[in-house]
Amino acid sequence: MLAEQRRLKILELLREEGSARVRDLSKTFSVSEPTIRQDLEKLEAGGSITREHGGAFLKSVPQQVQAMSLEHLENMEKKHAIGRKAATFVDHGETIILDAGSTTTEMVDFLIEKQNLKVMTNALNIVLRLGAIPGFTVFSSSGQFKPPTLSLTGEKAAEFFSDVHASKLFLATAGISFDAGLTYPGFNDLYVKKAMIKAAKEVFLVADSTKIGKVSLASLGGLDLIQTFITDTSIADEDRRRFEDMGVKVILAE
């Protein structure tokens, strides 16, 4: 991996995790700690991160958490449409799992129209918004807090979902590749997402079409993990056909 590519991956990871240690980045990218320190120096010069002893953190994190906002707010018009469409697949009285993420968060405004939902999630912003709805029962996992996504992650969060049975999971992703599958900037989330998938009868992937062709650092698995893909109308016809040839139903949100 070229130095510039590695720095972009490091920044992507920091935007997902909020912070990282030099020693962990060194192992993840298989380069020396001095090399990682040089990478962090260049990223800090770009203004997005702040270095600290032994690591670095995303500069926007304190204000972002205080405002209870998410870090990933690109393509929000598409995500809003996807969230609205995804909510139509939820029936009154169902038990569902909502993954953390900006697209799954867009489902919330439309889910409040449902009755007697049971919602399980690792997203604290979703817990706070749906937990106040009369008739809703909302369960939250434990785990390590990830500021940029306002979520709980790691093996402790995964343990919560190992005892859960839900009719549907609405899953988020950072990248979608026909070769690499579903990918994410960090490894901790993989435990949680695998447990969520195992706990659900049906898996809906909710992601805008700009994620198609992107490959992040950590792979969850192939596209056979999902049954339905809800995305926007900008998806290429060829990509849509490839999903359908693989047995994945594609739903377009307009």
| pLDDT computed for residue 16 by the predictor | 82
Closest CA to 103 of 18, 208, 193: 208
DSSP annotation of 212 reads: B
Would you tell me how many other CB atoms lie within 10 Å of the CB of residue 46?
A: 9
Closest CA to 9 of 30, 45, 179: 30
State pLDDT tens for residues 168-205.
999 999 999 999 999 998 888 999 999 999 999 999 99
Cα gap 89→91, rounded to integer Å: 6
| pLDDT computed for residue 228 by the predictor | 98
pLDDT category of residue 220 using cuts at 50, 70 and 90: very high
State pLDDT tens for residues 6-52.
999 898 888 888 888 999 899 889 899 999 999 999 999 988 888 98
Q: Is the pLDDT of residue 217 over 80?
A: yes
| pLDDT computed for residue 70 by the predictor | 75
Residue ranges of the chain that CATH labels 1.10.10.10:
3-59
| pLDDT computed for residue 140 by the predictor | 95
| pLDDT computed for residue 13 by the predictor | 87
Topology (CATH level 3) of domain 3-59: Arc Repressor Mutant, subunit A (1.10.10)
State pLDDT tens for residues 58-102.
887 777 787 777 766 778 999 999 999 999 999 999 999 999 999
Residue ranges of the chain that CATH labels 3.40.50.1360:
76-253
State pLDDT tens for residues 47-70.
888 898 899 988 877 777 877 777
Q: Is the pLDDT of residue 127 over 80?
A: yes
| pLDDT computed for residue 233 by the predictor | 97
| pLDDT computed for residue 125 by the predictor | 94
Contact 15, 43 (CB under 8 A): no
> In this predicted model, which residue has the larger pLDDT, 187 or 127?
127
Topology (CATH level 3) of domain 76-253: Rossmann fold (3.40.50)
> In this predicted model, which residue has the larger pLDDT, 231 or 5?
231
- Which residues make Cβ contacts (< 8 Å) with residue 179, sequence separation at least 6? none
| pLDDT computed for residue 82 by the predictor | 98
Would you tell me how many other CB atoms lie within 10 Å of the CB of residue 74?
A: 10
DSSP annotation of 133 reads: S
> At how many degrees (to 10) do helices 22-29 and 3-17 cross?
130
State pLDDT tens for residues 153-171.
999 999 999 988 999 999 9
End-to-end Cα distance, the chain: 38
